[in-house]
Structure 1
Amino acid sequence: MVFETLTRWRSSNPPPSPHDPFEPTPFPTLLFRAPVKLVLYNLFHLFTHLRSAPTPSDPPIRVVCISDTHDSLPADIPHGDILIHAGDLTNSGSVADIQAQIDWLSSLPHKEIVVISGNHDTYLDPRTRPSLTELQRSGAIDWKRVHYLQHRRLSLTITVDAPDSSSPTITERSRLLSGPRHRRIRLYGAPQIPACGPMSVHAFQYPRGQDAWSETVPEDTDILITHTPPKYHLDLALPEGMGCEHLLAEVKRVKPALHVFGHVHWGAGKMVVWWDGCHDAFERGMAVQSRWTRGVLNPRLWWNAVRVGYRGIKGLVWDRVWGGQGQRTVMVNAAQMVGNTGKFGNRVQVVDI
């Protein structure tokens, strides 16, 4: 829902610390600190919500997305062709804890299982490994049938089972293509995140604002897996956003069918980003800095809010009236933990691409 994030902000308990950017900012504070961006944000998400769902390719591949399990094991994982874990398998990052997560993942029935690291998976980054005790870093990791991606590309051939020909929902074309079919899927995974803690403890960090992404993702990537969100997308976008602006630029360049990430627990959810003028205006407006006026007297910010409205209506007509969809990326923040509660509660996201 369009106002789902704001509802979380109002109902969070206990009240978040104003100094913790990984906690949602209370609505009254947002109304004071970023009133125009609050309008911009909700206007953009309103138009995004009203657009049609993307049509999957034929045959569709079902991707099940999880992240930030932090040593726990979700009880009910939906069936799918590919299971993706977008990092923070553990809390301490020890070999034993990572192995326990791998053992669980490899026992699941999905055809392919793909994993990247998060900043809590300390052992997997040689720079942070010395922060572990000798006992915590002793032994070796057996990845079993799990594909581990660390700045690495992976190409998978997925066999899609034939649909039940007796089902009344099956089309005549599907009846003719009654045998199993195959589809090639290209994935790329990278764990690096903007710094959020001590460099010697939190894995795969780079200084916030540094470009660690440009020209790193192969152009033919179908599924991109990162631990950090892209800036302003499922990352507690208001008032500042905890994602990376350089990753957003890279996603925009490549335009994968699916981008899976986690890290910002309160941003959990799913959205479709249409790479059009409405999104361009949203991105530019959110990047505008207005300190003492809170943006109220900033004509550039208001102009981008107007452009979001105009471009949003134009895109909605193109979609709903003419049936056009255009280039898009399904973005999924797959964090399982609800904020910093240490408890599961976020939905496991399932996407057909």
Structure 2
Amino acid sequence: MWFRRTSGLDALLQRPEQESFLRRFLRSPVTTTARLLYNYFTRKHPIPTQQTDSSRVRVVCISDTHNTQPQLPDGDILIHAGDLTQSGTQGELNAQIERLDAQPHRHKVVIAGNHELCLDPRFSDTATTINWKSLIYLQNTSTTLEFGDDYTPRRLKVFGSPYTPKHGNWAFECLRTNSRFWGDVGIPEDTDILITHGPPRGHLDLGWLGCSLLLERLWEIKRRPRLHVFGHIHGGYGAEIVCWDAFQRVYEGVMDRKVGWVGVVKSVYLGTARALLGRRFGLGGQDMIMVNAAVVGGVRDEKRREAICIDI
């Protein structure tokens, strides 16, 4: 009988995108248990199927397309949260702009990601020559989108930033030790939709790969955005409702390894209180929908995911 010997490289490329629960538990029982409790006590955002309320705005979210062209459903706003390209060339970017420009959405908002080398002045001086056509490009800037009519006008303020914590030598990176970075970026307090390329730590980031400084900045903002769209961590694809309460605060402390089993025990108590009361327990704050809209996934980016639609 003939047996094929699997090489170390084959094993690496064929590994699952996320470790099994047992492997995660053996490697880090505290954070794995905390994540299990968080998933149990946190509401998942329902994916809308048909828009029936004309007063609501449908936001179509994608990110990390890396030169692919996913099918895009109808909506009022199309958001691309960065990594349009793979190699970061202007030719790749222009091709993606052409494709997005042809979409029928009323407003199309994009930011760069760490792959967009041609937009980062450290790597290229071509950013000023890009023709964005109907797309609104944000780089630590805001735009106000208008909907409705003269009788029922509605405006949504959108802020976008391409920066992620430094990892290698890519575009739009910030130092992990710069505690003032997101304060200096200046996310406006009246932002309705926040777009960043990467996630905040502990949320749709495989548990711990997100930016802890971004998370702390979101805690500091008094009026938090209703929707936060990002990508970057391909394996974190999905949507969740973040409540900004004591339960969430304890969970994030465990994931950031600031507290251990004591935090897990507190999570059981606070999560149960949240479930029984049917609302936030302690601290309070406006709920936020978080979306990791990474289109490509898998160990070799062989998977293709659909756009995530959110009605706000």
Q: Please give the range of the TM-score, normalised by the shorter of the 2 chains.
A: 0.7 to 0.9
SS in 1 for 2:215: helix
Q: Please say if 1:236 is aligned against 2:206.
A: yes
Q: Which residue of 78, 81, 85 maps to 2:76? A: 81
On the 8 A contact 1:116/1:148 being kept in 2, the answer is: yes
Q: Does 1:15 align with 2:15?
A: yes
Segments of structure 2 that go 5 or more residues without pairing to the other structure are 1-11, 48-52
Q: CA deviation at 1:87?
A: 0.1
Instruction: Give the residue type in structure 1 aligned to 2:174.
Output: Y
- Output the CA distance in 2 between the equivalents of 1:138 and 1:191: 14
Q: Given the alignment of the two structures, is residue 43 of structure 1 paired with residue 52 of structure 2, yes or no?
A: no
1:142 aligns with 2:113: no
Residue 329 of structure 1 pairs with residue 288 of structure 2: yes
Bigger Cα displacement from structure 2, 251-260 vs 149-158: 251-260
Instruction: Tell me the TM-score normalised to structure 2 length.
Output: 0.85
Identify if the C-alpha distance between structure 1 residues 347 and 52 changes in structure 2 by more than 3 Å, giving closer, same or farther: closer
Residue 154 of structure 1 corresponds to 143
Q: Runs (4+) of structure 1 moved beyond 6 Å?
A: 50-53
- Which residue in the other structure is 2:217 paired with? 250
Asked whether the equivalents of residues 95 and 140 of structure 1 are also in contact (C-alpha less than 8 Å), the reply is: no
Tell me, in whole angstroms, the C-alpha distance in 1 between the residues paired with 2:14 and 2:239. Answer: 25
The answer for unaligned runs of 5 or more in structure 1 is 1-11, 17-22, 131-136, 161-178, 290-299
Q: Is the 8 A contact 1:194 1:209 kept in 2?
A: no
User: 1:181 Cα deviation (Å)?
Assistant: 3.3
Equivalent residues in 2 for 1:229-308, closer than 5 Å: 229-237=199-207, 241-254=208-221, 255-288=224-257, 300-308=259-267
| Aligned residues: CA RMSD | 2.8
Asked whether the 8 Å contact 1:214–1:247 carries over to 2, the reply is no
Cα distance, 1:180–1:67 mapped onto 2, change above 3 Å = farther
Counterpart pick for 1:219 among 168, 180, 189: 189
Shift of 1:182: 2.4
Q: Please report how far the alpha carbon of residue 220 of structure 1 lies from its aligned counterpart in structure 2 after TM superposition.
A: 0.6
**Partners of 2:60 and 2:307 within 8 A in 1:** yes
Normalised by the length of structure 1, the TM-score is: 0.76
State the identity as a percent: 40
Amino acid at match of 1:126: P
**SS of the residue aligned with 2:65?**
coil
Offset, 1:59: 2.0
1:51–1:260 Cα change, 3 Å: closer
1:26 is displaced (CA, Å) by: 4.3
Partner of 2:178: 210
